[in-house]
Structure formats: structure tokens, C-alpha cells
């Protein structure tokens, strides 16, 4: 466990007007920063990025991970790049989806068509899920979940779409992987099913490890946090180490801080405001905040169907923190927002 944490801060529009060594590039992407917030327990201080070496070998190692480029992933014939933020389209095939009420269940043709449409609208990948993870959702038998997911994955792969499968069950992973190369997106960070890590390692496919307080009991447990930002970071760091020990290539690991999973509104806001800390893990970051309850809590209890504005605001916040993958329901609108954000950023680079 780290004795302290470093969060990139004081972002700048362009490195051109700053002396050499006074700013650093974040994760090989589009952002530059001039300082670190140093977090040691409840103590926080700020140092210029050029002084990070004075903190010793641990800080130098974190700095190297923060600034290292995230290599692209090749999945089948598709490539997923991390040098700018991209959208992952959410495709639920459950009867109790909180976002669409289950309208795509039992219709793999329509579900796959919806996924292809999201890809055409600019989604870099389509995240297919066959089990709801909303609070109170019933556990789905792995056979039923596989039957929901596999026909949709098969059609999407046939259409040439990059696919991730949102599941915590080994049998569902195997059913999807039997159809072709996919990314495994596990809300339990490979802890729910004891077979999951070996399945991912054997298939040599990318995996997304998401934080939840006690994933063996379900995604919405937990007793609260003393410091949610550093505790989630440390937990994800341990899960990365466990995945690597299980034979999974570190270069194929992504992390997700698990917004809304066993966390209070204050916890979620602290994580979103501190997102740049997670670059210290040295892997790409996925952020899933689309249509989530925190948006309603901040906007007069707006219902799920009326949370587009909040979803876009949080997506742009993620982009501004260097998040590489934004998991969203509203692909076209999010992609448009990211293109405008990038246009503004590109213009700022040239003055």
C-alpha cells in the first residue's frame, strides 16, 4: 500500500508557454499539468511537478505511471486507442434495466441493431450486459444471462463492432469468448466468480476491474469510507496486482472507480472531483456516470429519462481529468460533446 498518493492538478492549456520540466503530459493524452496534490492521510499539500523527484523513489515510480502513454489494445481486428477520450455505448438486454425498462430483452436482432447504431454514432465499443446491477436487482442465473448476452454479442462481432461484456460470471465470460475476442467488464473486479481470473488470463483478453465495497456480497454493500478517494485507489491497486499474479497482462487491464456502487452522494462527488488520482495506477480509466442517481440528487430528483444534461456534464468532467473511456447511454450526444471539447482543447494548444 502506498505511503502517500499523488493527484495531478493545475492543468494547463498548452506546454508551449511553460519552461521545460515545469509541466508534464498526462498518460500520453491531450492534457498537461503543472503540479501534484500530495495526499498523506488527512494532510494535503501541493508541489510543482518538477519537484516530484524530491519525494523519493516511490513518488518517481508514481510519476512514471502517471505520465506513461497507455498503449492501444488490439481486440480481434479492432483497435481501442487511449490518447483521447472515447465513448463506450451501454447496451442492456435485461428485463429490469433502469435506463430503458428492458425493451431490448428477448430481441437479439433489435439489440444488435441498437449496438451497431451506437457504433455508427461514434461509440468506440459496445458494452453488453445481461444482468442489472441497480440496487435491489435480483441475481440472474448464469445460464439465463448467457442466453441473453451471447446472441447479441455474436451479431455485433459479425458486424465488426468492438464488444465488451458486462458480467461477473465465468460461464457468461466463456459463452461470449467462444464467439470471438471481447473485453470482459467485471463489476466485481474478478472476485465474484473464482474462475473468472483464470478465464480472462487463458483467453488473453482485456479486462475492466471495477471497484465496489464488497463484491463477493454484491455491488452495493459497504460501511462507508474514511477517505473514499485513496481507499478506492488502494483497492484497485491491489486488484491489479492480483490480476497480474493470476496471469493477466497488466497492459490489458483498465480500472473503473465504480461511481454509484456502495457509495454515498458525497463519496461519488469526491471520486469525480479526484479522478486524476487514478492515473497513478498506470492503466486506462473507464468512468460510468451516465444517468446515475447522483444526477437526480443534484437536480431536483430528475427521473432517469431526464438526466441527459447531467450525464454530459459528468462526461466532460471526466474528459477534463484525462479519463480515457466514458461508459454512456446517450452516445451521439456524448460524442458530440467530446468533439467540441477536443476542438476547444486543440485550439488552446495553438494559442
Q: Which among 327, 339, 342, 347 is annotated as catalytic?
A: 327
- DSSP letters spanning 269-280: HHHHHTGGGGGG
Q: How far apart are CA 157 and CA 142, in angstroms?
A: 21
Q: How far apart are CA 16 and CA 65, in angstroms?
A: 23
> How many CB atoms within 10 Å of residue 55?
16
Strand segments (E) across 135-192: 163-166, 183-186
329 and 315 in contact (C-beta within 8 Å)? no
Alpha-carbon distances of 18 from 14, 34, 45, 118, 342, rounded to whole Å:
8, 9, 22, 40, 21
Q: How far apart are CA 32 and CA 9, in angstroms?
A: 9
Q: Which among 168, 239, 291, 292 is annotated as catalytic?
A: 292
Q: How far apart are CA 244 and CA 237, in angstroms?
A: 11
73 and 206 in contact (C-beta within 8 Å)? yes
Q: How far apart are CA 149 and CA 172, in angstroms?
A: 8
Q: How far apart are CA 310 and CA 215, in angstroms?
A: 27
Question: Active-site residue 263, yes or no?
Answer: no
Question: Active-site residue 292, yes or no?
Answer: yes
Q: Which of 24, 37, 108 is nearest to 69 (CA)?
A: 24
- Largest interatomic CA distance in the chain: 59
Q: How far apart are CA 17 and CA 307, in angstroms?
A: 39
Catalytic residues: 292, 327
Amino acid at each position: 500500500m502506498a505511503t502517500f498518493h499523488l493527484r495531478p492538478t493545475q492543468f494547463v492549456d498548452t506546454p508551449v508557454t511553460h519552461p521545460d520540466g515545469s509541466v508534464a503530459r498526462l498518460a500520453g493524452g491531450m492534457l498537461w499539468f503543472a503540479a501534484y496534490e500530495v495526499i498523506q492521510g488527512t494532510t494535503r499539500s501541493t508541489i510543482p511537478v518538477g519537484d516530484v523527484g524530491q519525494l523519493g523513489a516511490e513518488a518517481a515510480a508514481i510519476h512514471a505511471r502517471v505520465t506513461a502513454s497507455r498503449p492501444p489494445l488490439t481486440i480481434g481486428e479492432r483497435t481501442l486507442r487511449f490518447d483521447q477520450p472515447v465513448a463506450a455505448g451501454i447496451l442492456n438486454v435485461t428485463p429490469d434495466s433502469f435506463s430503458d425498462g428492458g425493451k431490448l430483452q428477448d430481441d437479439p436482432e433489435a439489440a444488435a441493431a441498437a449496438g451497431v447504431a451506437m457504433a455508427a454514432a461514434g461509440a468506440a465499443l459496445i458494452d453488453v450486459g445481461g444482468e442489472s446491477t441497480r440496487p435491489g436487482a435480483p441475481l440472474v442465473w448464469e445460464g439465463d444471462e448467457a442466453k441473453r448476452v451471447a446472441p447479441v454479442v455474436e451479431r455485433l462481432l459479425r458486424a465488426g463492432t468492438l464488444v465488451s461484456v458486462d458480467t461477473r460470471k465465468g460461464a457468461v465470460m466463456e459463452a461470449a469468448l467462444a464467439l470471438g475476442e471481447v473485453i470482459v467488464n467485471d463489476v466485481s473486479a474478478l472476485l465474484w466468480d473464482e474462475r473468472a481470473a483464470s478465464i480472462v488470463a487463458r483467453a488473453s483478453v482485456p479486462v475492466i476491474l471495477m471497484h465496489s465495497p464488497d463484491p463477493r456480497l454484491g455491488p452495493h454493500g459497504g460501511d462507508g469510507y474514511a477517505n473514499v478517494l485513496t481507499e478506492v485507489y488502494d483497492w484497485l491497486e491491489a486488484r491489479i496486482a492480483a490480476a497480474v499474479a493470476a496471469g493477466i497482462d497488466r497492459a490489458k487491464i483498465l480500472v473503473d472507480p465504480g461511481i454509484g456502487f456502495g457509495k454515498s452522494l458525497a463519496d461519488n462527488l469526491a471520486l469525480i472531483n479526484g479522478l486524476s488520482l487514478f492515473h497513478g495506477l498506470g492503466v486506462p480509466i473507464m468512468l460510468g456516470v451516465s444517468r446515475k442517481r447522483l444526477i437526480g440528487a443534484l437536480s431536483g430528483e430528475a427521473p432517469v429519462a431526464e438526466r441527459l444534461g447531467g450525464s454530459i456534464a459528468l462526461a466532460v468532467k471526466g474528459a477534463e481529468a484525462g479519463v480515457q473511456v466514458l461508459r454512456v447511454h446517450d452516445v451521439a450526444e456524448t460524442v458530440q460533446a467530446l468533439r467540441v471539447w477536443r476542438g476547444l482543447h486543440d485550439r488552446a494548444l495553438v494559442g
